Chain A
Amino acid sequence: MTMDRRTLLKGAAAAGAGAAALAVRPAEASSERPVAPPNAYGMLYDATRCIGCRACVTACKAANNLPGNLYDPPNDLSGDTKNIIKLYESDGEQSYMKQQCMHCIDPGCVNACMIGAFKKRELGIITWDPDRCIGCRYCQVACPYEIPKFQWDTAIPKIVKCELCHHIIVDPQTGEYKEGTQPGCCQACPKQAVIFGTYVDLLADAKQRIADHPERYYPAGDPQIFGDTEGGGTQVLYLAGVDFEKLGLPVLGDEGVAAQARSIQHGIYKGFIAPVALYGILGAVIWRNRRAEKKGGSDE
């Protein structure tokens, strides 16, 4: 995984050449909806089951070897916290909320990362590669859930976000799911408020819960699963008894932010017309100015 300067520069040069070649081709695939990889795994968080004990927050720190005082729990995602439990409380309405990476099917961070440090890898898990990262923090801007965090207080900072305990659940040899393993948070939850499983199973489970107890879930009458279609779909799914927006989840269309960004970028470069036109006009202006200058100079 490690990468030296030479390889990085080579890669960057190749990527630049590739991008130039690709740009000539018409924009593709932006109209087609991305689907979860066939072996995608994820999590299902049911806010109506959560009791706010924060066992998952501690377990996450232990599983990922993150710093922090055991007896002084964090209050937000940060450079040393990948998972957090929060509480929404207003007008007698109350719900806990778990925040961590959503492992989008079409991730904004991967799309924004110019150097390929963010990747959607085995089981659909989005990981971050410290050897590639150049610290531009575009991923922070690109994420609609504001998940990637930057270690502002260290000399060699890292991007910190949930990687679904990739190091625990993926067999490094085969790249397959290691049977019987779970991310730290799912293992610790005493109420099974957050469970781990394949994306397909979790989606079916969530639908079954809604079918069994439609009165428990938001919105009343037609309960929804957040992440089923939102933002192009996420491998971490949410069920809640209150409005998802109140729990800090953004209102997204069915199209992912990555798809939106791609359509804009690819639109601009479509057929390479816009760049050619822009540089053509600039060139014409320069040419005209230089001619005028020469003329003026010869007059004197």
Chain B
Amino acid sequence: MGRRVERFSVPDGSPHEEGLGRRDFVKACMMAAAAVGLPASVGLQWAEAAEAGLKPSVIWLHFQECTGCTESLLRTSHPGIAELILDLISLDYCETLAAAAGYQIEDALHQAMETNAGKYVCVVEGAIPRKDGGIYCQIGGRTAIDILEDVASKAAAVVAIGSCASWGGIPSADPNPTDCAGAPQILEGTTVVTIPGCPANPYNFLGTVLQFVALGSLPALDDKGRPLFAYGRTIHEQCPRRAHFDAGRFVRQFGDEGHRLGYCLYAMGCKGPETHANCSVMSFGEIPDAWPIGVGHPCFGCTEQTVGFRKPQFEAATLPEGAVPPIHPDHRASPSAAAAGVAGLVGGAVVGAGLMASKKMSEGGSEEGSS
């Protein structure tokens, strides 16, 4: 995709028919930065970099997937996809959005890789089949494994978007006919930022990618490569229905009274207690409550490798440690230092008094005996 120097056009009849002015553009960049949790100064940096024609190159790879993650990204508004790919980044290869096809697009990929070697961001969407030499997903005669290893080897950062690219997702569900895996399993030894989700929340992706292109750093990650800002807590911890869980109010059947009253879905197999994601606090597509629990369906654990597409929908999730007391709870109260001191004094006084009393008694006894 070519570099775009002129302002992007707006529909006829809009107040800014001549295009977006610099001021508006900088504002848009700052809003984009704020939306993904980055400081306003980063927005200014983007605006300046974009004006200087220094937009970071992004190569987006599609493998075994439904393109749902791209579709979600297309529906963001802060920044919108137009601002993103026209102003903030240079999307050099993306099968879904590219106008080109065939040799032309393959050529664009190779060119981008050569021109920006060691500087571009590689985004992976979709699982990678490994069975029979990986022949079940090929583009331009090359297997997904080859393409991924090739593109990732020269990338500054690799980001896996969606559960498929993060750990296999739906294509890897039992019986996993193509023996597919996520990008981290293919690229062992390389840091792969994973943004699991089915589809992934685009803001978690944008926050990560835009931080990298603006600041050159990656957010803090957990042991599965997930950014902690988005996947640091379980759904259960920030669930709007959590109070109902604590109070023991549960949906027992879809459509029952508890369901209509918005009770906890744990008894319906909700995987919130073991699924790390920020669905409840980062609205999907900016529509409040547009997520499974928000519409009355149990969380199914799409961001968690051991849960989504693995555990049956209605099987109870594993509760976090301490949610249910152990068989023999510890009822010992830890005594404070003051209490221990008082107890020591009292104990000492009792022992001393006892000694004195016995001494007196024995003296008295001997006196009696002598008389």
Contacts and interface: CB of A to CB of B under 8 A. Distances in A.
Given A76-B331, A190-B267, A53 B246 contact: no
B273 to A, nearest CB: 10
Contacts of B325: 74-76, 84, 86-87
Interface stretch (A3-11, A13-21, A54-62, A119-127): A54-62
Contact of A57 (B248, B326, B331): B248
A28 B250 CA distance: 51
B248 A188 contact: yes
Given A57-B248, A58-B249, A191-B267, A52 B323 contact: yes
Contacts, number: 67
B337 interface: no
B316 A51 contact: yes
A59 B267 CA distance: 15
A85 B252 contact: no
B235 to A, nearest CB: 16
Nearest to B327: A248
A246 B249 CA distance: 29
A232 B97 CA distance: 75
B329 A76 contact: yes
B246 A70 contact: yes
Contacts of A248: 327-328
Q: Which of A53, A71, A85, A86 has the most CB of B within 10 A?
A: A53
Interface residues on A, range: 20 to 34
A96 interface: yes
B250 A55 contact: yes
A287 interface: no
Contacts of B319: 52, 87
B266 A87 contact: no
Nearest to B247: A70
A19 B160 CA distance: 82
A96 B252 CA distance: 19
B246 A89 contact: no
Contact of A53 (B243, B267, B329, B331): B267
Interface in A92-137: 96-97
A73 B246 contact: yes
B245 interface: yes
Nearest to B319: A52
Contacts of B252: 190
A251 B252 CA distance: 35
A96 B326 CA distance: 9
B174 to A, nearest CB: 21
Given A51-B266, A52-B319, A190-B267, A247 B248 contact: no
Interface string A59-89: 1000000000011111110000000111111
A85 B329 CA distance: 12
Nearest to B269: A51
A53 B245 contact: yes
Interface string B295-334: 0000000000000000000001001000111111101000
B248 A88 contact: no
Contact of B266 (A53, A72, A86, A89): A53
Contact of A54 (B251, B324, B331): B324
Nearest to B252: A190
B58 to A, nearest CB: 43
A149 to B, nearest CB: 12
Interface string B325-360: 111110100000000000000000000000000000
Given A51-B267, A191-B267, A247-B327, A71 B250 contact: no
Contacts of A188: 248
Nearest to A89: B326
A59 B252 CA distance: 14
Given A71-B243, A190-B267, A191-B267, A55 B327 contact: no
Contacts of A55: 248-250, 267
B327 A88 contact: yes
Nearest to B315: A51
A246 B327 contact: yes
A24 to B, nearest CB: 45
Given A51-B266, A51-B267, A76-B331, A58 B247 contact: yes
Contacts of B328: 248
Contacts of B316: 51-52, 191
A289 B319 CA distance: 72
A111 to B, nearest CB: 26
A32 B266 CA distance: 48
9 contacts: A52-B316, A53-B245, A55-B249, A71-B246, A73-B246, A86-B325, A86-B329, A87-B327, A248-B327
Given A51-B267, A246-B327, 4 more contacts: A53-B267, A55-B248, A75-B325, A96-B324
